[in-house]
Amino acid sequence: MANVSLRNIDIAYGPVTIVKSLQMEIADGEFTVLVGPSGCGKSTILRLIAGLEPHSGGDIFIDENNVSAANPADRNVAMVFQNYALYPNMTVFENISFGMKIRKIDATEIDHAVREVAKMVGLTDHLHKRPGRLSGGQRQRVALARAIVRHPKVFLFDEPLSNLDAEFRASIRLELRQLHKKLGATMIYVTHDQVEAMTMGDKIAVLAPIAVKGTHNLMQYDTPEVIYSKPTNLFVARFIGSPKMNTFEAESSGQATIRIGDQDIAVKVKRPLPSKVIVGIRPEHVVVGAHAEGPTITGRVAVTENLGHERLVFTETKIGPITQRASDQTVCPTAGDELELTLLRHRLHFFDAVTEERIEMVSDAP
Ligand SMILES: Nc1ncnc2c1ncn2[C@@H]1O[C@H](COP(=O)(O)OP(=O)(O)O)[C@@H](O)[C@H]1O
Ligand SMILES: [Mg+2]
């Protein structure tokens, strides 16, 4: 296993820059998720690590070795794709063992290795079948087994679950995490699904298309907890979390107060406030009723959704639409109701309306 270091990477297709100034230090044995909207460069970055994508600047290190110019075959990384890429005319056994056979490894050793890996991913009873007779989840397990049997230094996954239905996705997600623990492997996993990112990653790298900032794609690189509770800018704040964080524009009046609705909220900032601020609050940090814990906004309920384990209330207010989430079913307003909502003040996020960067509060201090 190995650590992977991406140092100031630039990638361009002709005149078009796709990735700029990418810096990441991926520790040995870590499960890292690259998440971002379609087209932001996630697959390009995986291909770069695998050696399938040229780069115009920077260096890639696997352990202490600069592999920037190394052939894919010499990097000892294994990639698992969304569309399995299995050989249709070979059995599961042959698909898993193909690489070993090419390398002329002894048949007994191949047999032993394949059976061990098949057991690990639950394919023992399917080794004689062709991929056509397997479910999507089983085919993805074959692709996974083929990667594991190689004992790579680094596993790369490019949206491996997106062809599977929701039920399968959840169970394979769990299996992959368990497998990661068992192998202690360095895994880099790409997805556009923020739920997958939040549930799977030791660390999450949130990426944006280069057009968002112009200077770099990597918006934030941290644990799921920090990304959720202290998003570094509006892009991250809105991308991670479902339903999305509520955001609205507010004026800052004076040095350390922000006007929300009819109330001035005192904030302890590290630097003077910009005059226009974007205030954010997650749906679970809005509560029904007027409370002392934060500013109260009144509005009219537009829609409610009862999901069983929680309910969502969408309210039109004078500062804009607010989504509220609660796990209790006791207070369930209905559409058309007049409603008071309190925004828990210690849960408010503030962003500069111009730069869209997080405004650090004294309480944010590490
Ligand atoms: N071979 C290529 N030539 C030109 N542009 C490409 C090529 N491959 C990908 N791109 C562009 O690079 C950007 C990033 O692509 P990709 O890494 O596949 O994004 P993601 O995996 O995040 O959806 C996209 O805008 C895509 O159109
Ligand atoms: Mg992709």
CA distance 172 to 160: 10
Tell me the CA–centroid distance for residue 85 and ligand 1, in Å. 20
Task: For residue 267, name the pLDDT band (cuts at 50, 70, 90).
Answer: confident
From atom 1 of ligand 1, which residue's Cα is the shortest distance away? 13
Same domain, 305 and 348: yes
Same domain, 82 and 202: yes
Percentage of residues of the chain with pLDDT beyond 90? 78
> What is the average pLDDT across 240-263?
89
Q: What is the H or E stretch that residue 116 is in?
A: helix 107-121
Same domain, 148 and 18: yes
> What is the average pLDDT across 47-74?
94
pLDDT tens digit sequence for 151-180: 999 999 999 888 788 877 888 888 899 999
When the pLDDT of each residue in the chain is averaged and rounded to a whole number, the result is 92
Of 234, 265, 285, the residue that ends a domain is: 234
Same domain, 195 and 266: no
Tell me the CA–centroid distance for residue 19 and ligand 1, in Å. 10
- CA-nearest of 158, 157, 139, 131 to 84 is 139
Handedness of CA 218, 221, 227, 231 (dihedral sign): negative
Same domain, 29 and 147: yes
- pLDDT: which is higher, 85 or 299: 299
Of 194, 211, 234, the residue that ends a domain is: 234
Res. 364: pLDDT tops 80: no
pLDDT tens digit sequence for 334-345: 999 999 999 999
pLDDT tens digit sequence for 169-220: 888 888 899 999 999 999 999 999 999 999 999 999 999 999 999 999 999 9
Res. 91: pLDDT tops 80: yes
CA distance 143 to 163: 13
Same domain, 30 and 129: yes
Res. 254: pLDDT tops 80: no
Res. 59: pLDDT tops 60: yes
Residue 66 near residue 14 (C-beta atoms within 8 A): no
Same domain, 122 and 193: yes
Same domain, 182 and 107: yes
Tell me the CA–centroid distance for residue 161 and ligand 2, in Å. 12
Which among 9, 10, 11, 13 is the best mutation to test ligand 1's pocket, defined by most ligand atoms within 8 Å of the CB?
A: 13
Same domain, 99 and 206: yes
> What is the average pLDDT across 97-118?
94
User: What is the tally of structural domains in the chain?
Assistant: 2
Query: Which pairs count as long-range contacts for 12-16, CB under 8 Å and 24+ apart, including other chains?
Result: 12/56
> Cβ atoms within 10 A of the Cβ of 128, count?
10
Domain around 252: 243-364
Of 234, 262, 296, the residue that ends a domain is: 234
| Pairing status of strand 286-288 against strand 296-306 | unpaired
pLDDT at res. 253: 75
Domain CATH number, residue 53? 3.40.50.300
How would you class 310 by CB atoms within 10 Å of its CB: exposed for 0-12, middle for 13-18, buried for 19 or more? Answer: middle
